[in-house]
Amino acid sequence: MAAAFTVSAIATALPVAASAENVLRWTSQGDALTLDPHSQNEGPTNSMNSLIYESLVTRNPDLELEPELAESWEAGPDGWTFKLREGVKFHDGADFTAEDVVFSFERAMAESSDFKEQAKAVASVEVIDDYTVKLITDGPNPILANQLTGIMIMDKDWSEANDVAEPQDYAADQETHAVRNANGTGPFVVESRAPEELTVLTANPEWWGKDEFPGNLDKIEYRPISNAATRVAALLSGEVDFVLDPPLQDLERIKATEGLEVKTAAQIRSIFFGFDVASDDLRTASVEGNPFQDPKVREAMNLAIDKDAIQRVVMEGLSYPTAMITPPGVLGNTPELDEQFGFDLEKAQALMEEAGYGDGFSVQLDCPNNRYNNDEKICQAAVAMLAKIGVDVKLDAIPKAQHFPKIQNRTTDFYMLGWGVPTLDSHYVFAYLLEKDGSWNAGGYDNARVNEITQLITTETDLEKRTALIDEAWKIVQEEKPYLPIHHQVIAWAMSDDFEIPIASDDSLRPRYVVKK
């Protein structure tokens, strides 16, 4: 049972309209994991927190960079200088200044932060004056602005007063004041938060951007609904106005319903399976040793999964089978690299024989059941397909709140993960998933040249040279196959036509652009 409502003292101290006229009631299958903006780098969590907190730089629904808490910026050989927006206040009335930027970057670099890979691009923050900061880097950094969109700014005094100067350690199941309470500068204030039940946000009357954006919402009510049929029923009955992840099999029914509409977009997210390639022995395998350390086994499993069938049967056509774990639109994705490995059972069986696993083996597949489009169904399909080459997969499909700690704590043999790329640059994928110490590199993949390239591309400003380095790294990854790519995801949003809600390829709702007609 989720905790009872926790009402933020900040929210009750703010003036709130007597009656909210423009209310957006929406749902999706899984709740934000935490309100701590530096604890979990997970899509729905970031999306929720971005309504409350803000970054120096953000993206609009077309994923173009826009100023947020910084009005302007300029790149130099040893860092970037940001002119901060003046007159901005946190929800409790405190002024936003340069010291909050310094504090937030230090916090984002903490061991318990899930944003270390982005924040570590900044060696230090130099305060020039109350509203000017210089983010010092180790040499020129061509992508720093792209890396900052996920690093949200917290109030230093509030954080210290509430004993949350360090981010919540989510993987250790830590509970802190910042998990259910928030004090940002963003367009919405937390009125109440009951995890997995209901989150209510009210418009921030003092928000700096209230006259600069078309959004006219007074209130947002978010209620997660894990059951797909129930989410659709809630939309059809008018109980909710917007479903972020309607079941793909119900899209035509929704389109045919008067007063409702569906929008689709190719998402900047890839769905794949990960292998533990580092451990000498797997935790759940029926054989001694680690079959996943043999590249022939990894190739066989790639060839045994029919991605076209998954696209056709499981995804209702809304996916793009791939051999990459980064989608089109991201620097590094090319048509050549994006072409899937193919489906070849005969070759897969031969590879298993060559690897010494002709009789197969069993292993557990860890899978979320409330995070990605048809995630559990994809895993079920893979189980049946891998059985044909003797890999007996025991499926453990659980909510993402329990699934993700297995990955972050590196206690999984074989797992599903989806990875979006908000920076639109392959460095984000390398740093988290492929670099030796990447926080989501649960398989322990370690290639010296890929590690080296991950560092080189943070300072290489020549686009042609930088692109060549990225291409080299991806070719190494495709040769070694530490992951089993399935597809790039296509998202669908379903909504009442009483609202204008622009869909975005990062699957993030941006209420500052949402208009109640």
Does 35 reside within a domain?
A: yes
Query: How confident is the model over 412-425, as a mean pLDDT?
Result: 97
Does 246 reside within a domain?
A: no
Identify whether residues 315 and 166 lie together within a single domain: no
Structural domain of residue 308, as residue ranges? 267-491
Does 395 reside within a domain?
A: yes
Identify whether residues 42 and 189 lie together within a single domain: yes
CB 95 within 8 A of CB 107: no
Portion of the chain with pLDDT greater than 90, in percent:
95
Residues in the chain: 517
For the chain, give the mean pLDDT: 95
Portion of the chain with pLDDT greater than 70, in percent:
96
Does the pLDDT at position 2 exceed 90?
Answer: no
431 secondary structure, DSSP code:
I
Does the pLDDT at position 269 exceed 50?
Answer: yes
- Give tens-digit pLDDT for 332-365: 999 999 999 999 999 999 999 999 999 999 999 9
Say what the pLDDT of residue 8 is: 35
Does 369 reside within a domain?
A: yes
What band does 470 get if pLDDT is binned at 50, 70 and 90? Answer: very high
Does 252 reside within a domain?
A: no
What band does 13 get if pLDDT is binned at 50, 70 and 90? Answer: very low
Torsion sign (Cα): 276, 279, 284, 289? positive
Identify whether residues 312 and 394 lie together within a single domain: yes
Identify whether residues 507 and 406 lie together within a single domain: no
Identify whether residues 461 and 503 lie together within a single domain: no
CATH number at residue 451: 3.10.105.10
What band does 286 get if pLDDT is binned at 50, 70 and 90? Answer: very high
Does the pLDDT at position 83 exceed 70?
Answer: yes
Identify whether residues 130 and 62 lie together within a single domain: yes
- Give tens-digit pLDDT for 203-247: 999 999 999 999 999 999 999 999 999 999 999 999 999 999 999
Identify whether residues 469 and 506 lie together within a single domain: no
Identify whether residues 41 and 165 lie together within a single domain: yes
- Give tens-digit pLDDT for 164-210: 999 999 999 999 999 999 999 999 999 999 999 999 999 999 999 99
Does 239 reside within a domain?
A: no
Does 232 reside within a domain?
A: no
Residues 6+ apart with CB under 8 A from 402: none
Say what the pLDDT of residue 210 is: 95
Query: How confident is the model over 32-36, as a mean pLDDT?
Result: 98
Residues 6+ apart with CB under 8 A from 32: 44, 45, 47, 48, 49, 195, 199
Identify whether residues 96 and 134 lie together within a single domain: yes
Torsion sign (Cα): 31, 266, 50, 459? positive
Identify whether residues 90 and 119 lie together within a single domain: yes
- Give tens-digit pLDDT for 102-114: 999 999 999 999 9
Give the integer Cα–Cα distance in Å for 404 and 63. Answer: 26
- The domain total for the chain is 2
Identify whether residues 483 and 510 lie together within a single domain: no
CATH number at residue 171: 3.40.190.10
Does 118 reside within a domain?
A: yes
Of 294, 149, 201, nearest in space to 8 by CA: 201
Identify whether residues 396 and 465 lie together within a single domain: yes
Query: How confident is the model over 5-34, as a mean pLDDT?
Result: 65
> Quick one: tokens of 438?
């990447």
